[in-house]
Amino acid sequence: MNTEIARLRQIMSDLRDPLTGCEWDIKQDFHSIAAFTIEEAYEVLDAIEREDVDDLRDELGDLLFQVVFHSQMASEKGLFTFDDVARTINEKMLRRHPHVFGDVVFETEAELKASWEAIKSEERLQKLARKVGSKAVDVLQTAPRPSAVDGIATNLPALKRADKIQKRAARVGFDWPDVEPVWAKLFEEIAEVREAVDMGEDAAIQDEIGDLLFTVVNLARHCQVDSEAALRQASGKFEKRFRCVEGLAEKSGNALADMDLVALEALWVIAKNET
What CATH number is attached to the domain comprising 214?
1.10.287.1080
Class of residue 239 by CB neighbours under 10 A (exposed 0-12, middle 13-18, buried 19+): exposed
**Helix residue spans in 97-174 (DSSP H):** 98-101, 109-132, 136-142, 158-171
Residue 151 lies in a domain: no
Say if residue 269 is in the same domain as residue 219.
no
**201-232: pLDDT as tens digits:** 999 999 999 999 999 999 999 999 999 999 99
Say if residue 179 is in the same domain as residue 243.
no
Say if residue 166 is in the same domain as residue 187.
yes
Say if residue 254 is in the same domain as residue 216.
no
Residue 258 lies in a domain: yes
Query: Contact, 267 vs 248, CB < 8 A?
Result: yes
pLDDT of residue 52: 95
Q: Can you say how many angstroms the Cα of residue 233 is from the centroid of all Cα atoms in its chain?
A: 16
pLDDT band at 1 (very low <50, low <70, confident <90, very high): low
Say if residue 28 is in the same domain as residue 67.
yes
Q: Which of 56, 80, 96 is the last residue of a domain?
A: 96
Please give the tally of structural domains in the chain. 4
Say if residue 9 is in the same domain as residue 76.
yes
Residue 30 lies in a domain: yes
**235-252: pLDDT as tens digits:** 999 999 999 999 999 999
**11-56: pLDDT as tens digits:** 999 999 999 999 999 999 999 999 899 999 999 998 998 899 999 9
Residue 153 lies in a domain: no
**Helix residue spans in the chain (DSSP H):** 3-15, 23-26, 30-49, 53-76, 82-96, 98-101, 109-132, 136-142, 158-171, 180-199, 202-222, 227-252, 261-274
Say if residue 80 is in the same domain as residue 27.
yes
Residue 255 lies in a domain: yes
Residue 152 lies in a domain: no
d(CA 210, CA 93): 36
DSSP annotation of 107 reads: S
Query: Contact, 145 vs 161, CB < 8 A?
Result: no
pLDDT at 136 over 60: no
Say if residue 268 is in the same domain as residue 201.
no
Q: What length is written for the chain?
A: 275
Say if residue 75 is in the same domain as residue 28.
yes
Domain containing 34 equals: 3-96
Q: How many CA atoms lie within 13 Å of 163's alpha carbon, on the beta-carbon side?
A: 19
Name, in order, each residue with C-beta under 8 angstroms of 176's C-beta and a sequence gap of 6 or more.
182, 218, 222
Say if residue 243 is in the same domain as residue 265.
yes
Name, in order, each residue with C-beta under 8 angstroms of 152's C-beta and a sequence gap of 6 or more.
161, 164, 165, 168
Q: Which of 146, 170, 204 is the last residue of a domain?
A: 146
**46-78: pLDDT as tens digits:** 899 889 999 999 999 999 999 999 999 999 999
Say if residue 86 is in the same domain as residue 9.
yes
Query: Contact, 267 vs 254, CB < 8 A?
Result: no
Query: Longest Cα pair distance anywhere in the chain, in angstroms?
Result: 74
Say if residue 44 is in the same domain as residue 79.
yes
d(CA 60, CA 53): 10
Residue 221 lies in a domain: yes
**251-274: pLDDT as tens digits:** 999 899 999 999 999 999 999 998
The candidate with the shortest Cα–Cα distance to 221, out of 174, 268, 152, is: 174
Q: Which of 96, 113, 135 is the last residue of a domain?
A: 96
What's the predicted TM-score (pTM) here? 0.67
Query: Contact, 52 vs 46, CB < 8 A?
Result: no
Residue 11 lies in a domain: yes
